Homo-oligomer: A and B are copies of this chain.
Amino acid sequence: MKLAVLGGGGVRIPAFIRGVLSSRAAFDEISLFEPDEFRRQTTGRLAVELADALGRPGAVRLTSEAEEALQGADFVFSAIRVGGDRARVIDEEVALRRGIVGQETTGPGGCAMALRTIPVLLSYCEVLARCSPGAVLINFTNPVGLITQAISLHSGVRVVGVCDTPSSTLDRLAGFIGADRDKVAFSYGGLNHLGWITSFTVDGQERIGTLLDRYEELRHFDHVFAAFDPAQVRRLGAIPTEYVYYFYEPARYVAAVARAGASRGADVLRLNSELLSAIMKAFGTGGVSDAWAAYSMLMGVRRDTYMRTDTDGESQQARARARRKAAGPAELGGSRPGGYEGVALQVIDGLTARSPGEVIVNTRNGASLGFLDPDDIVEVPALVHGGGVSPLAVGQLPRSAIGLITQTKQYERELVDAAVTGDVGLAALALAVHPLVPGVTVAREMISEYRERHGPHLAYLR
């Protein structure tokens, strides 16, 4: 079985490869496609050497040619970032300067990112459909829902969008309540980064009421719950997943970033730059263990500071660095895959019929959310099995959630139209539909500014 990775030099890839190699998934070959040479020499090389160190020499290969990577692939992961970290900073700035949510995936930031990404990814999909017509594309590229929507509507490739936010939220809730995760049934639904948990049963007993009642405790138990107002959550009767924060607290978020003085994107840009240099340096003076040590330390800092700027108004990076330094680097071997790669491997285990089961994925709605269209991409639990991805029936969501989902999905559909037609006017009209964008006039301004600042990446918009 061959796995291809688009964006094979991404900073998450070494950890990802380590997870994949530690999993049951029997990949004979993993081909990392990365056009950037510096990336190939740093994160790419680290991934390749990790395979050697973990006893799978030759299992991972690097290439600068997409077609070479995609040829004969059974599964493809997409983790590309068109324009790199620098583009993300622009995405955020253009919005934030206007007092608008400038998050990577949500609102104008996600819009700009999607506009850069869709044409590129659709062109890879053309190659894939030609080279390996039966392959399944597992999409991590953000904004996951939007990108998956574009591929689903405008390519012949089978695609599943993956994000670990909802499943990790469920894991944390099970941990909080002391429930055996295997005994949990839940109801979750929405779009990527815009989903709610409306039911949580353990051994057939509904516990959502308990979770809502104890929401203050939950906030202390885990940072992902801390951003929400407990009274609001209780009134809602459902637990929002973390990214809903940007819809529930846009003004607080904008103020927090202003207080911090730098957006998450700016911090990540610096962190990643440091990370690549550190890997380069480690390989210059030592071997894979040194590179892994530097890598795992800085990735740990990155993880520990996640969403801190947006919710707390300070990145807390210094504290995170101190803590990580004290703890020392992660071991090179033996990790059970978690996060994105964990979900992706569940999808593969299901699709290869090795272990069919329930996975929350971004997939065609069918009849899962009755208020959307069958071909809308939604984020819902699905049975993933040898025959494909079959969404579960999602129960009633809160009415205000239905409102936000409806509008956001319309934005997504219109933005995909804009990207595939290259119509700059449509892009602005699409952005104006987004719940976090205060009107069409400002949407036009922002699209215009994005187009100017992102240069060749958005030059196709006319």
Q: Determine if B371 and A370 form an interchain contact, defined as CB atoms under 8 angstroms apart.
A: no
A99 contact set on B, CB distance < 8 A: 99
Task: Give residues 322-381 of A contacting B (CB, 8 Å).
Answer: 353, 356-358, 366-368, 370-371, 374, 381
Q: Which of the residues B251, B358, B433 comes within 8 Å of A356, measured between beta carbons?
A: B358
- The docked-state distance in angstroms from the alpha carbon of A250 to that of B202 is 45
- The docked-state distance in angstroms from the alpha carbon of A394 to that of B367 is 6
Query: Within 8 Å of chain B (Cβ to Cβ): is A285?
Result: no
Closest to A442 in B: B251
- The docked-state distance in angstroms from the alpha carbon of A117 to that of B417 is 45
Stretch among A4-12, A67-75, A138-146, A404-412 lining the B interface: A404-412
Q: Determine if A366 and B395 form an interchain contact, defined as CB atoms under 8 angstroms apart.
A: yes
Task: Give residues 129-163 of A contacting B (CB, 8 Å).
Answer: 134, 158
A441 contact set on B, CB distance < 8 A: 229, 249, 251-252
Stretch among A81-89, A176-184, A212-220 lining the B interface: A176-184
Task: Give residues 220-260 of A contacting B (CB, 8 Å).
Answer: 229, 231-232, 235, 248-254
Query: Within 8 Å of chain B (Cβ to Cβ): is A391?
Result: yes
Copies of this chain in the oligomer:
4
- The docked-state distance in angstroms from the alpha carbon of A394 to that of B374 is 11
A386 contact set on B, CB distance < 8 A: 180, 182-184
Q: Determine if A385 and B358 form an interchain contact, defined as CB atoms under 8 angstroms apart.
A: yes
Query: Within 8 Å of chain B (Cβ to Cβ): is A387?
Result: yes
A133 CB to closest chain B CB, in angstroms? 10
Query: Within 8 Å of chain B (Cβ to Cβ): is A299?
Result: no
Q: Determine if A250 and B406 form an interchain contact, defined as CB atoms under 8 angstroms apart.
A: no
Q: Determine if A232 and B432 form an interchain contact, defined as CB atoms under 8 angstroms apart.
A: yes
Q: Determine if A235 and B414 form an interchain contact, defined as CB atoms under 8 angstroms apart.
A: yes
Query: Within 8 Å of chain B (Cβ to Cβ): is A402?
Result: yes
A408 contact set on B, CB distance < 8 A: 403
Q: Which of the residues B134, B253, B367 comes within 8 Å of A393, measured between beta carbons?
A: B367
**Contact A204:B250 (CB < 8 A) given known A232-B429, A357-B356, A400-B433:** no
- The docked-state distance in angstroms from the alpha carbon of A250 to that of B438 is 5
- The docked-state distance in angstroms from the alpha carbon of A392 to that of B392 is 4
Q: Determine if B399 and A374 form an interchain contact, defined as CB atoms under 8 angstroms apart.
A: no
- The docked-state distance in angstroms from the alpha carbon of A94 to that of B387 is 45
Q: Which of the residues B357, B383, B425 comes within 8 Å of A231, measured between beta carbons?
A: B425
A184 contact set on B, CB distance < 8 A: 386-387
- The docked-state distance in angstroms from the alpha carbon of A441 to that of B442 is 24
Size of the A side of the interface (Cβ < 8 Å), in residues, is 73
Q: Which of the residues B134, B393, B407, B411 comes within 8 Å of A203, measured between beta carbons?
A: B134
Q: Determine if B393 and A366 form an interchain contact, defined as CB atoms under 8 angstroms apart.
A: yes
**Contact A390:B399 (CB < 8 A) given known A252-B441, A353-B183, A429-B231:** no
A407 contact set on B, CB distance < 8 A: 399-400, 403-404, 407
A407 CB to closest chain B CB, in angstroms? 3
Query: Within 8 Å of chain B (Cβ to Cβ): is A317?
Result: no
A426 contact set on B, CB distance < 8 A: 235
A402 contact set on B, CB distance < 8 A: 406
- The docked-state distance in angstroms from the alpha carbon of A353 to that of B204 is 13
- The docked-state distance in angstroms from the alpha carbon of A251 to that of B407 is 19
Query: Within 8 Å of chain B (Cβ to Cβ): is A316?
Result: no
Q: Which of the residues B248, B368, B404 comes within 8 Å of A403, measured between beta carbons?
A: B404
Query: Within 8 Å of chain B (Cβ to Cβ): is A35?
Result: no
A403 contact set on B, CB distance < 8 A: 403-408, 410, 435
**Contact A252:B367 (CB < 8 A) given known A386-B180, A390-B358, A392-B391:** no
Query: Within 8 Å of chain B (Cβ to Cβ): is A209?
Result: no
7 contacts between A and B (CB under 8 A): A99-B99, A184-B386, A204-B387, A231-B429, A235-B426, A250-B439, A357-B385
Closest A-B pairs by Cβ, 9 of them: A185-B387, A403-B407, A403-B406, A251-B438, A182-B386, A249-B439, A367-B393, A368-B393, A250-B438
Known: A229-B441, A235-B429, A435-B435. 6 other contacts (CB 8 A): A235-B426, A356-B358, A357-B385, A381-B383, A403-B403, A403-B407
